[in-house]
Amino acid sequence: MNSKVTEIKALFDEKLALVTTSEQVEELRVEFMGKKGSVAALMSELKNVPNEEKKAFGQEVNVLKQEIETKIAEKRAAILEAEQQKLIDSAEEYDESLPYDIKTGSYHPITLVQRDLERIFTSMGFTIENYSEIVDDYHCFEALNIPKHHPARDMQDTYYLSTENQLLKTHTSAAQNAIMKKYGAPLRAIFPGRCFRNESTDACHENTFFQMEGIMIDKDISISNLIYFMKTMLSEVFQKDVTVRLRPGFFPFVEPGFELDIKCLNCGGEGCPSCKNSGWLELCPCGMIHPNVLAHGGIDSEEYTGFAFGLGLTRLAMMKYGVKDIRTFNSGSLKSLSQFKNE
Ligand code: PHE
């Protein structure tokens, strides 16, 4: 082998052994393989080599070139791997048992109250029914014993659609007729839903709010059944024994009709600002379903009786969580609404 080739090969190996960084690898590559590097210089010697040795010399230089390139590539890869390993070794240790803070969403307070009620009523054999928000005049009023021009309509002014006879439902009672027709008697159902009224808004009034209606129809259903179900449900919701009382209330679709009050949970009936010093809170209109309403629903009122109640879900959520302004619920303010977690 040509002595110059041997010399350069030995020099390269010697220097390569000392290289420890990517930068040094690059410097070494330029020194040997660059345009003005040792290998290029070796090639320019070719002209001084005697003719019969030229071929062998050329081959030796080519082999050297390949060898240097391979060794440089290997060294580069080895250094890169070592650098990565160093990074990994120096990284802070990952401890999966450390607590972490990921923000989770929360349910709307009305959803929480609604789910609570659904759980309680299904455990008492009620089904949960869904009903549309757009209804017609018949379902919202006439089937409920509220004929056209009846003064009871004044309290439930709403948003009428341009499509004939259609409106946004003013109360969940609008579903009573369809549900009676769907199941017939006997029947136990609750139907939560969003209701609309043309209302000027203030801390206690909203044009959009939630109710939960319930009906129970069977043989010999009486006011005592109504009181029992209401009392059980409210004690579950508030997680304490509640005292209820009935006052007469007028709704054309029940006879007799009542306003159900609960003894103020704040003061226990002594009188405080939240019950306006009366000791009682008005919570849930209810009553025995009017025979005309049963007849509209295709149920024989001679054989069956039933009760209906229209619980204000929004109102209940206000009471349960101490929300003072009803407008908070539709505000979309996460600061207010994300405080309520299901216990
Ligand atoms: N639908 C009535 C309202 O929204 C409430 C109600 C329901 C009254 C059922 C009696 C029985 O005002």
What pLDDT does 71 receive?
95
Mean pLDDT throughout 178-206? 93
Using DSSP, state whether 312 is helix, strand or coil: strand
Mean pLDDT throughout 140-168? 90
Contact 309, 301 (CB under 8 A): no
Partner residues linked to 309 by β-bridges: 214, 286
Ligand 1, atom 3: nearest CA belongs to which residue?
A: 171
Task: Report which ligand 1 atom has the smallest distance to the Cα of 289.
Answer: 11
Pocket of ligand 1 contains residue 171 by CB under 6 Å? yes
Pocket of ligand 1 contains residue 139 by CB under 6 Å? no
- Is residue 22 predicted with pLDDT exceeding 60? yes
* Paired tokens of 297: 């629903």
When pLDDT is cut at 50, 70 and 90, the band that residue 179 belongs to is very high
Percent of the chain with pLDDT over 70: 99
Please, what is the Cα angle at 211 between 295 and 268, to 5 degrees?
115
Pocket of ligand 1 contains residue 281 by CB under 6 Å? no
Pocket of ligand 1 contains residue 310 by CB under 6 Å? yes
Q: Give 119-146 as a DSSP string.
A: HHHHHTT-EE----SEEEHHHHTGGGT-
Residues 6+ apart with CB under 8 A from 281: 261, 262, 263, 264, 265, 274, 275, 319
Ligand 1 centroid from CA 189, angstroms:
15
From first CA to last CA, the distance across the chain in angstroms is 87
Mean pLDDT throughout 37-61? 88
- Is residue 202 predicted with pLDDT exceeding 90? no
Ligand 1 centroid from CA 306, angstroms:
14
More confident residue, 310 or 275: 310
Average pLDDT along the chain: 90
Contact 260, 254 (CB under 8 A): no
- Is residue 311 predicted with pLDDT exceeding 90? yes
Task: Report which ligand 1 atom has the smallest distance to the Cα of 144.
Answer: 1
Ligand 1 centroid from CA 288, angstroms:
11
Q: Which pTM does this prediction carry?
A: 0.69
When pLDDT is cut at 50, 70 and 90, the band that residue 16 belongs to is very high
Ligand 1 centroid from CA 72, angstroms:
87
What pLDDT does 268 receive?
85
What pLDDT does 77 receive?
94
- Is residue 342 predicted with pLDDT exceeding 60? no
Pocket of ligand 1 contains residue 312 by CB under 6 Å? no
More confident residue, 155 or 250: 250
Contact 180, 304 (CB under 8 A): no
Ligand 1, atom 5: nearest CA belongs to which residue?
A: 310
When pLDDT is cut at 50, 70 and 90, the band that residue 172 belongs to is very high
Task: Report which ligand 1 atom has the smallest distance to the Cα of 211.
Answer: 4
Mean pLDDT throughout 139-157? 90
**Half-sphere exposure (CA, 13 Å, Cβ side) for 130?**
1
